[in-house]
Amino acid sequence: MTRWGTFYGKRHSAFRSEVSTLLVNMRDSGTLPDPLLSGRLIAWVLFEVQRPKTSKLLLPRGDIDNYSKILFDCCTKAIWEDDVQIEIMSARKIWSNGDGKINLWVKGITDETES
């Protein structure tokens, strides 16, 4: 944050651009729900992060809440109406065996889901 607004770094901006392009392509191919998901939602996310050539870390660097935040912001108006609809979420980050990827599963919450 700055006094002129929010500053996003190059990696953040590149990620948003890549995800936005992917979501547009998925919408065009009919992969995404139409209309947008509405109502209360549960989201499960698995972030498979590409391992750097050298790292002593057991888990990928970065806060998982930040990983989730940027993803959910990108999905707003592409998969669901607004990320405020996410009532329950589970997220995990692991090293990938190859290229990085994100797996996202979303389900609507019904009264049956809550029991």
Domain regions of the chain by residue span: 10-114
Checking 68-75 for CB contacts under 8 A at 24+ apart, the result is 70/12, 70/15, 70/16, 70/19, 71/19, 71/45, 71/102, 71/104, 72/43, 73/16, 74/16, 74/19, 74/20, 74/23, 75/23, 75/104
Judge whether residue 114 has pLDDT over 70.
no
- pTM, full prediction: 0.81
Q: Compare 18 and 46 and report the one with higher pLDDT.
A: 46
What is the topology classification, in CATH, of domain 10-114?
60s Ribosomal Protein L30; Chain: A; (3.30.1330)
Report the side by side order of strands in the sheet with 86-96.
86-96, 41-50, 101-108
Amino acid symbol at 41: L
Average pLDDT over residues 62-76: 92
Amino acid symbol at 55: S
Give the pLDDT of residue 52. Answer: 87
Give the pLDDT of residue 42. Answer: 97
Give the pLDDT of residue 5. Answer: 63
Q: Which residues contact 19 (CB under 8 A, 6 or more apart)?
A: 70, 71, 74
